[in-house]
Structure 1
Amino acid sequence: MKLPPPFSPDAASNLEQLIASKPTPFLALDLSVIKKRYDELVGGFPDAEIYYAVKANPADEVIELLANSGSSFDIASIQELDKVLKFGVSPERISYGNTIKKASAVKYFFDRGVRLYATDSEADLINLSKNAPGSKVYIRILTDGSEGADWPLSRKFGCNPEMAVELAVMARDLGLIPYGVSFHVGSQQRDIDVWDGAIAKVKVIIDRLKQDYGITISMVNMGGGFPANYLLKTNDFSTYAEEITRFFKEDFGDDAPKLILEPGRSLVGDAGVIVSEVVLISRKSATALERWVYTDVGVFNGLIETLGEAIKYHVSTDKEGEVDEVILAGPTCDSLDIMYEHHKYELPLSLEIGDHIFWYSTGAYTTSYSSIEFNGFPPLEYHVI
Structure 2
Amino acid sequence: MTLQFPQPVPVHRAVSRVDAFIASQNFDRPTLVLDLEQVVSNHAALKRGLGDAQICYAVKANPTPALVARLAAEGCGFDAASRGEIELCLSQGAQPSRISFGNTIKRPSDIAFAYGAGVRLFAADAEEELDKIAENAPGAQVYIRLLVTESEADWPLTRKFGCAPEKAAELMARAQVLGLKPVGISFHVGSQTRQSAMWLRPLQGLARVWNDLRAAGFPLELVNIGGGFPAFYGDEIEETETYAAAVRALVGDLFPGATRVMAEPGRGMVANAGAIAAEVMLVSRKSDSDLCRWVYLDIGRFSGLAETEGEAIRYQIATPRDGGETGPCILAGPSCDSADVLYEKRPMALPLDLAAGDKVIIRNTGAYTTSYSSVGFNGFPPLECVVL
| TM-score interval (norm. to shorter) | over 0.9
Give me the whole-angstrom Cα distance separating, in 2, the residues matched to 1:54 and 1:365: 10
Q: Cα deviations across residues 183-218 of structure 1 (Å, max 9, x unaligned)?
A: 101111124344223333333333333332x22101
Task: Tell me the distance in 2 between the aligned counterparts of 1:260 and 1:245.
Answer: 10
Tell me the equivalent position of 2:6. Answer: none
Secondary structure of the residue aligned to 1:178 is strand
SS in 2 for 1:306: helix
- Measured against aligned partners, the alpha-carbon deviations of 1:210-254 in whole angstroms (never above 9, x if no partner) come to 332x2210100000001011112323334422332332232235x
Residue equivalent to 1:178: 182
Matches within 5 A, 1:136-151: 136-144=141-149, 147-151=151-155
Distance 1:88 1:362 in 2: 25
Cα deviation code 1:266-295 (max 9, x no counterpart): 000001111111111110101111110001
Per the normalisation by structure 1, the TM-score is: 0.94
Task: Give the C-alpha shift of residue 6 in structure 1.
Answer: 4.4
Matched residue SS, 2:281: strand
- Partner-residue secondary structure (3-state), 2:192: strand
Retained in 1: the 8 A contact 2:18–2:33?
Answer: no
What are the equivalent positions in structure 2 for 1:96-245 lying under 5 Å apart? 96-144=101-149, 147-212=151-216, 214-245=217-248
Residue range with higher mean Cα deviation, 241-250 or 52-61: 241-250
Preserved contact between residue 295 and residue 328 of structure 1 (Cα < 8 Å): yes
**Pairwise mapping of residues 52-67 of structure 1 onto structure 2 (< 5 A)?**
52-67=57-72
| 2:15 paired residue among 7, 28, 31 | 7
Tell me: CA distance 1:6–1:325, structure 2 relative to 1, closer, same or farther (3 Å).
closer
Contact 2:79 2:99 (C-alpha < 8 Å) held by counterparts: yes
CA distance in 2, matches of 1:303, 1:57: 13
Of 323, 326, 350 in structure 1, the residue corresponding to residue 326 of structure 2 is: 323
Q: Which of 23, 42, 55 matches 1:16?
A: 23
Which residue among 331, 346, 352 is the counterpart of 1:349? 352
Matched, 1:91 2:96: yes
| 1:275 partner amino acid | A
Q: Is the 8 A contact 1:232 1:312 kept in 2?
A: no
In structure 2, C-alpha distance between the alignment counterparts of 1:51 and 1:245, rounded to whole Å: 15
* Aligned equivalent of 2:379: 376
Instruction: Verify the 8 A CA contact 2:22 2:277 in the aligned structure 1.
Output: no
Aligned length: 376
Q: Percent identity?
A: 46
Shift, 1:89, TM fit: 1.4
Distance 1:326 1:333 in 2: 19
1:179 Cα deviation (Å)? 0.8
Mapped to 1, the partners of 2:136 and 2:202 lie a distance apart of: 31
Give a deviation string over 1:143-183, Cα, whole Å, max 9, x none. Answer: 026x4322221100000111111101110111000011001
- Residue type matched to 2:286 in 1? K
RMSD of aligned Cα (Å): 1.5
TM-score by length of 2: 0.93
2:8 paired residue number: none
Deviation readout 1:105-156 (Å, 9 max, x if unpaired):
11111111111000000000001110111000000000026x4322221100
Report Cα offsets for 1:67-103 as digits up to 9, x if no partner.
Answer: 0111000001111111110122111010000000111
Please tell me whether the aligned partners of residues 69 and 93 of structure 2 are also in contact (alpha carbons under 8 angstroms): no
| Structure number with higher relative contact order (C-alpha < 8 Å, ≥ 6 residues apart) | 2
CA pair 272-11 structure 1, distance change in 2 beyond 3 A: closer
Identify if the C-alpha distance between structure 1 residues 337 and 346 changes in structure 2 by more than 3 Å, giving closer, same or farther: same
Residue segments in structure 2 that go unaligned for 5+ positions in a row: 1-11
| Partner SS, residue 352 of structure 1 | coil
d(CA) in 1 for partners of 2:19 and 2:208? 50
Shift of 1:5: 4.2
- Candidates 288, 298, 302, aligned match of 2:304: 302
Query: Is structure 2 residue 363 aligned with structure 1 residue 360?
Result: yes
